[in-house]
Amino acid sequence: MYENLSFKITHTDSSSWARCGLLKTPHGTLETPNFIFCATKGAMKSLTTQQVKEAGADIILCNTYHLFLQPGGGFVQKHGGLHKMLNWNGPMLTDSGGFQIFSFGHGGISAELKGTSNQARPKTLLKIDETGATFRSYVDGQVRVLTPEASIKTQCQLGADIILALDECAPIRADKSYNERSMNLSHRWELRCLGEFKKYDTSMQALYGVIQGGVYEDLRKLSAEFVRSNDFFGQAIGGSLGKSKAHMHEIIRLTCQHIDKQRPTHLLGIGGMSDIINGIAGGIDTFDCVHPMRLARHGGALLEPQHCDGKEFINIKNSKFSGDLSPIQENCSCYCCKNFTKAYIHYLFKAKELLGGQLLAIHNTAFMSNFLKEIRAAIKAGAFGSIMKRWNIVAP
């Protein structure tokens, strides 16, 4: 398996577990660490793939759950796969649908943390059992079942370079016994995924196993050992990582102690800059999150904390920017910053013009891409410690 894919560690950091690597895929070689931008339903929010590429993105992600429901894997396959359908010629990842099962069943991570999960939108998850996840489609109301085999078949039809095994994402409020049962169920699902995957052309796609176990170190260790002992190309860290940033960072570091460090490691659904630096210090190679694009749609422009009162973005809708004739970022060469002022983008949001969100999406894509590029350069130069110090990150 995996004849057309490989992962090679090229540089390591002496002050942490950070490393640079080359992840070779059938659609190009990805330098790591790197950030994966989300084209969730087969489209980037407000941008074309050409604009995303010009802004510096190297890899994108699409979601199996949504594409399984609409338009279906067969529809995408008739287009020659996601790469051709989206006009994207770079590396691509599809996630399995496991998180969406969780989200539509429990209201999402943010709702749980705020204690509002029972008041969220109507739940569509009907049951999770050995077979898979039974749910009511948000598209047409029909009852559908996503099994490990269906997830893998769909992902093979979609044709992404990196695909993920189906797992259950246990809710934050679940106790240890539930997490253990859920983890073991995920392991059985993942073995079925591996078996189904071997029925297809395994030379053109890389299958990652998913590490679960909630906030419990012994369960995380068991799950990491399970993934390490099976024929997965890489590993992804998923599931609940705690109720605070500090707890999340601790769980990630503990988990990274037990992974196969020669395999590429992905952290699912994390996109804050300080969280990315912490993850890289622990040995994470890739990250994905809707954060940059979602932030842009709501008027958020990514910047380092010293430029935005300790936060990681400014809200361009704030009235203080109504007369600001400077760009979002002085030294940024993206299309947004080279051509438009904060005042103009502020006006666009006030006038409810879609262009405002589009321009911020371009900037946020460029900013995140350059942020990861700076980190890679620092690791190669032996200077990653200075970045950790600047962001108050403690080495593992």
Q: Which residues are catalytic?
A: 95, 288
DSSP annotation of 28 reads E
DSSP-assigned letter for residue 244:
S
On whether the CB atoms of residues 373 and 56 are closer than 8 A, the answer is yes
- Dist. CA 190–CA 209, nearest whole Å: 7
The token duo for 209 is 């196993």
Structure tokens at 276: 């990315």
Q: Given the structure tokens 């002496």, which residue do they identify? A: 14
Residue 204's φ and ψ, nearest 5 degrees, are -110, -5
> What is d(CA 294, CA 296) in angstroms, rounded to the nearest whole number?
5
Token pair for residue 119?
A: 């008041």
The whole-angstrom separation of Cα 102 and Cα 97 is 9
| Listed residue (273, 271, 293) closest to 364, CA to CA | 293
Kindly tell me the sign of the dihedral angle through the C-alpha atoms of 109, 110, 116, 121.
negative
> Which of 249, 334, 245, 333 is closest to 296 using CA atoms?
334
Contacts of 6 (CB under 8 A, 6+ apart): 22, 23, 24
